[in-house]
Amino acid sequence: MSIDFLTGLRAEARAYADLLRPAALDRDREPGRARDPVLPWRRFAGLPAEYNPDPLRVQGRTALLQSCVEQVVVYEELARADATAVLALPGPSMSGSVIGDLADETQRRRYWEVVAGEGAWTFFGMTEPTAGSEPAGMHTALHPDGDGFRLAGTKRYIGNGARARIGVVFARRHAGPLGVVAVLVGTDKPGFTAVPLPTTGLRGLELSELRLDDVPIDAGDLLGRGRSATRQGMWAATRTFHRYRPVVSCLALGVAQAAYDLVAAARPAVRSRLDDWRQRLAGTRALVLAAARSADHDPSDGTLASAAKLRATRLAEDLTTDAVRLLGPGACWEYPLLDKLVRDARGFEFMEGTGNIQRLTLARGHLQGRLSDVRAA
C-alpha cells in the first residue's frame, strides 16, 4: 500500500472528522446519542465488498478498511475529533475478525446479513467479572443439551453489548485453554440480557454486562466446528487481539493529537514542550503503522502490536495530563473538550489487555527473537 494512497486516505478521513467534533461533548453527556451515527457508517465499518454498496473511495480506488493499515490511518483521524464516535459505530468490530477466522459459509452469511443489512452493532464477549480475559479463569460454560447446548455465565465490560444484535461469546466446553470455544449468539435468544454499565471515559462505547441464563445454542452456532482444538476459540481470540491492539493504539494516538492541537492553539508560546510532543507523536505514529503492517502480514505475532499499544496509551495519558498542567487551574472547566480527553485517555489502558499484559508479550517476543530492540517498550 503506497504512501501516496495512505496520505490520501488520511486526508479523506480528516474531512469526515470535521462532522464528528461539533457533537463530541453532546455524545459524552448523553451516550445514547452515539446510537445515531453522524458518519456514513458503511464507509468506515470494514464490511466485505459483497456487503458494502457504499465504500470509501480514495484516488479512484476502493478502501474497504478491512486491513489494519487502512484502519489505523482512518481511525486516528476520526479519533482526533472523537474517539467515542469511532468505537460506537455499527459494524463488525472485533467479532468480525473471529468470523473471518472460524465461520463456515452459512455462519458467515447469517452474520453479515444481520450486520450489513440492518446496520447492527455487534459484541465480542470475552471479559468476565472475576477473571478478565484470562482463559484459565473463564467461568462461562457451554453444556450439552440434547442435540444442542446451553450457554451460561456473565461477561462484563463488553463494548456496544446492550445495543448489539449479534456477536461472539467465548465459553468453556472442557478444562484447559483448548477447551474454550467461540459461539455465534443472537441477542434475541431467550435467556440473553444485556445492561449498560456506568463509565467515566469513552462513554459512548456503552460498555455493558451480558447475562447468559441457559441460552439455547444450536450445534450450527459453534464457530470452528471440525477444526482441531488448537485452531478454535483461544486461537481466534489471540489473533483478534493482535489485530485490534494497533487499532486501540491509533485511537489513543488520536486523543493525544487532540490534546496537542488544543494546547498548540491556546499556548503557542510553550514551543519546547510542543516540539517534544510533536516528536513523540511522530514516533508513536510510525510504531503504530509498523504494528498494523505486522498484524496484516501475520496476526499470530503480536509483538509489535503490544509495543504500539503500550507506547500509544502512555502517550495519551502523558499529553492529556501535561495539557491540564500547561493550561493551568480550572483548565478542565475552561476547556470542556480537555476534560473529555483526560477521561477518554485512561480508558485505553484497559482495552485489549493492560500495560502489564503488553509487557509480558513484549518480553516473550524478545526472548523468541521477534523483537531485537527492547526500547520499543
pLDDT at residue number 339: 96
Q: Which residues of the chain have pLDDT under 50?
A: 377
Locus of grid cell 453489548 = 161
Residue 351 to residues 133, 291, 347, 357, Cα–Cα distance (Å): 10, 17, 7, 11
The alpha carbons of the chain give a radius of gyration, in whole angstroms, of 20
First-to-last CA distance in the chain? 27
Burial class (CB within 10 angstroms; exposed 0-12, middle 13-18, buried 19+) of 208: buried
Give the separation between CA 200 and CA 145, rounded to whole angstroms: 41
Asked if 153 and 142 touch (Cβ cutoff 8 Å), the reply is no
* Total-model pTM: 0.94
pLDDT at residue number 375: 55
pLDDT at residue number 372: 66
pLDDT at residue number 374: 54
pLDDT at residue number 199: 92
pLDDT at residue number 377: 47
